[in-house]
Amino acid sequence: MKMTLKPLKGVIWDNQMLAFGDTRETVEQLLGKAQVWGTSLYYFQNAMRLDFDEDGGLEFIEFLSPGKDLSLEIYGIDPFTAKANDVIALLAKKNDGRVTDCDNGYCITFGEISVGVYRDSIPEDAADLAAEAEAEGTPLTDEEYEAELSKANHWETIGFGVKGYYERRL
């Protein structure tokens, strides 16, 4: 299934839309029964998380590296297969406002469009890991290094919410 992320609005697929402000009941009518952990609903083998505000309206959608059964698009690109720097550049352009690097390249938010991206490692981490392995006498193979570098050059999660979502969270 292909889903198109519409910042500040929701997500579209197959001529259907899950919109910010929708209730849990509306979500379950559109997507079926969810896995529930705490106050969040999870779909697509836990690749999509939905959070609701105190009034019961959908306020945040997060995708976690969706895999082969689910593909995403935001502003014409897949945020998981495009290079991390390309995603940052596109989101910064669409944001036309404050961009916040929350954690030295690991987490970046775009306040005007209420989008955030996260990854566990940055390119410098792959180089550091390779240097540590070399110093310990167990150097990484080329394949291992390339896998670490590829992971560091792509986002693991993308989330987006209602206007002001990240300002309230950071």
Report the domain count for the chain: 1
Residue 50 lies in a domain: yes
According to the model, what pLDDT value does residue 170 have? Answer: 58
Beta-carbon contacts of 37 under 8 Å, excluding residues fewer than 6 positions away, are none
Decide if 131 is inside a domain. no
What pLDDT score was predicted for residue 98?
81
Under the banding of pLDDT at 50, 70 and 90, the label for residue 169 is: low
- Mean pLDDT of the 49-69 span: 91
Q: Is the pLDDT of residue 154 over 80?
A: yes
> Has residue 125 been placed in a domain?
no
pLDDT band at 68 (very low <50, low <70, confident <90, very high): confident
Residue 87 placed within a domain: yes
pTM reported for the whole predicted model: 0.91
Q: Residue 41 pairs with which residues in a beta bridge?
A: 36, 50
pLDDT at position 102: 87
Per the domain annotation, does 124 fall within a domain? no
Work out the angle between the directed axes of helices 123-135 and 142-152 (0-180°, nearest 10): 150
Mean pLDDT of the 34-42 span: 94
Burial class (CB in 10 A: 0-12, 13-18, 19+), 85: exposed
- 136 domain-assigned: no
Q: Is residue 28 part of a domain?
A: yes
pLDDT at 126: 86
Residue whose pair of structure tokens reads 């390339």 in the numeric block: 146
Residue range(s) defining the domain that contains residue 85? 2-119+154-169
Q: Flag whether 137 is in a domain.
A: no
Q: Where is average pLDDT lowest: 60-64, 68-72, 109-113, 138-142?
A: 68-72
pLDDT averaged over every residue in the chain: 93
